[in-house]
Structure 1
Amino acid sequence: MKRSFRMWHLTGTIAAIAAGGYIVFAIMLYIMQSRFIYIPTAKIEADPGNIGLEFENVDFVASDSVTLNGWFIPAENERAVLLFCHGNAGNISHRLESIQLFNRLGLSVFIFDYRGYGRSGGKPTEEGTHLDATAAWQWLVREKQYAPDKIVIFGRSFGGAAAARLASETNPRALIVESAFTSIEDMASKLYPYMPVRLLGRFHYGTIDYIRRVKCPVLIIHSTDDELVPYSHGRRLYEAAGQPKEFLEISGGHNRAIIDIPGKYTQGLDSFLIRYINN
């Protein structure tokens, strides 16, 4: 009897510890969400001048008075201007290879840092990143006098959500989304399958919801080898998009296509541009 009691007591103790650990982890997950999502750096490591490109350093202001920073890099024989929404880590100075590739494709580039990143003020929030992307769009339209049908919105990874939301509320020439997730909740469910992430989540970034409302041509780019955002997310985004739309299947790690397969990546982009931009 005593042995049976000790076993039940031990089992109960282990269960209580496990339950306590689960609750503590859930609380930490709820509190620390923003640190998992936003990984900014302040130091600008280099600029387009370091790779031989002329550029304009731009300060502009979001509708809630936060001052933002970005670069405008003009292209010779410009086909269109690309509004670049980057990923959740680093800052604009870590995207020089992409800027160079787009420049060679005849795309002027306006890349900006979200609030809290690089030289931009403020702290990042979900609504804040949307205000930042909207302010970047308005700068191109008002300050540079670009017509909406000369603007291509591009978003990579986390930036895919910002780009898709902006495209759903404006009228760009095209939308390009690369290595993007369907939503933060879907990503969290993959990373923490035993946690009630949809109840704990304070962020949405619902790329798939936004892309359903986009009216312009859409190009979805995703790698079958993406170790961070599953390939299935890219396929689901493609299925949710309206026509006209295209899917560029690539290989290599997350955000590494321009390094691992530059030829296929560049050719895929150029083909899309020829069909929907040059015409």
Structure 2
Amino acid sequence: MKRMIVSLTTSLFAVWLLFSLLLYILQPIFIYFPDNAVRMKPPGFGLHHETVTLTTADGVNINGWWLPHENPRATMLFLHGNAGNISHRLQKLQIYNRLGLSVLIVDYRGYGLSEGTPTEQGTYLDAEAAWAYLTQVRRIPARDIVLYGESLGGVIAARQASQVAAGALILESTFTSVRDMGKHYYPFLPVNLITRIHYPALEYIQAVASPVLVIHSPADEIVPYEMGRRLFEAASPPKDFLEIKGDHNGGFLRSGELYTDGLDQFIQKHFDQPPNRLES
């Protein structure tokens, strides 16, 4: 009996060790889910756009769309989540256009038509290239730019906002760190030891001086609602929290006017444009 217990314990330890090792080695596979097929384009949603190619500081060409509004209240730099590509965000782009925003949305390296392979540092460089395009090529003042990120993109947006004087930062369904997500999903593993991709949003948001809006749903089945609350608590004033309905990816649609009105009020509060309700 004792030999059986020892054998079982040894086998369980071997499985635990193997799984930990695989998570360490294959970590990017668990974080990045790029799709290279651009299935839809803005004209199908009634949106005018220009396709842009940006070159990052390390020489990678990334693809994006510039969607100008004829009378913009502000300009949004849209940093999407860890799956799909920019063509999967057209419903959101339509909403932001109706809210009176010009938008630049880019695909990280390895996503959509962008070159390269996604890495943590690489995604940060991608955001920096997008910021440079808006401020240097389009000559849009930093104070007129809203940094917006969904899920993983929220971490990238928070990092960018910690380094520039953006007009505002919006985080939607964003996690506090990869380490915290690992502990949530794999509490039985040595997450502190095997985490090599970090995305520490909680650290970044504490260094942000811009107004912050945190959006999260209690029904989010991927990123715990509590993480959104922690990000909000860590942010400095002025800040707002918008609680929406629905799941991680579809909450903005499920919430309808709750979502759009919340964004509209935040934009009115922090930008100098006159009140501008949703356009028909």
TM-based fold match above 0.5: yes
Distance 2:176 2:106 in 1: 23
Number of aligned positions between the proteins: 273
* CA displacement at 1:278 relative to structure 2: 3.0
Which residue in the other structure is 1:4 paired with?
A: none
* CA displacement at 1:143 relative to structure 2: 1.0
Point out where structure 1 has 5 or more consecutive residues left out of the alignment.
Answer: 1-6
**Structure 2 residue matching 1:219: 3-state secondary structure:** strand
Letter in 2 for 1:69: N
Show the 5 A alignment for 1:70-149: 70-149=64-143
Flag as ranges the 4+ runs of structure 1 deviating above 4 A.
none
Per-residue CA shift, 1:179-209, capped at 9, x if unaligned?
0000000000000001011110011100110
Which residue in the other structure is 1:223 paired with?
A: 217
Please say if 1:16 is aligned against 2:10: yes
Per-residue CA shift, 1:30-73, capped at 9, x if unaligned?
11110010000101011101111110000010000000100000
Letter in 1 for 2:82: N
Per-residue CA shift, 1:224-256, capped at 9, x if unaligned?
111111111011000100010000011110031
2:246–2:252 contact (8 Å) kept in structure 1: no
**Structure 2 residue matching 1:169: 3-state secondary structure:** coil
Please say if 1:51 is aligned against 2:45: yes
Distance 1:218 1:255 in 2: 21
TM-score, with length taken from structure 1: 0.96
1:249 corresponds, among 235, 243, 259, to: 243
Point out where structure 2 has 5 or more consecutive residues left out of the alignment.
Answer: 274-280
Tell me which moved more, 258-267 or 96-105. Answer: 258-267
Q: Percent identity between the aligned chains?
A: 48
Per-residue CA shift, 1:2-42, capped at 9, x if unaligned?
xxxxx111111111111111111111111111001000010
Distance 2:182 2:11 in 1: 24
Letter in 2 for 1:203: I
Cα RMSD of the aligned pairs, angstroms, is: 0.8
Which residue in the other structure is 2:30 paired with?
A: 36
2:151–2:173 contact (8 Å) kept in structure 1: yes
Distance 1:17 1:147 in 2: 60
1:85–1:133 contact (8 Å) kept in structure 2: yes
Letter in 2 for 1:201: T
1:157–1:255 contact (8 Å) kept in structure 2: no
Please say if 1:209 is aligned against 2:196: no
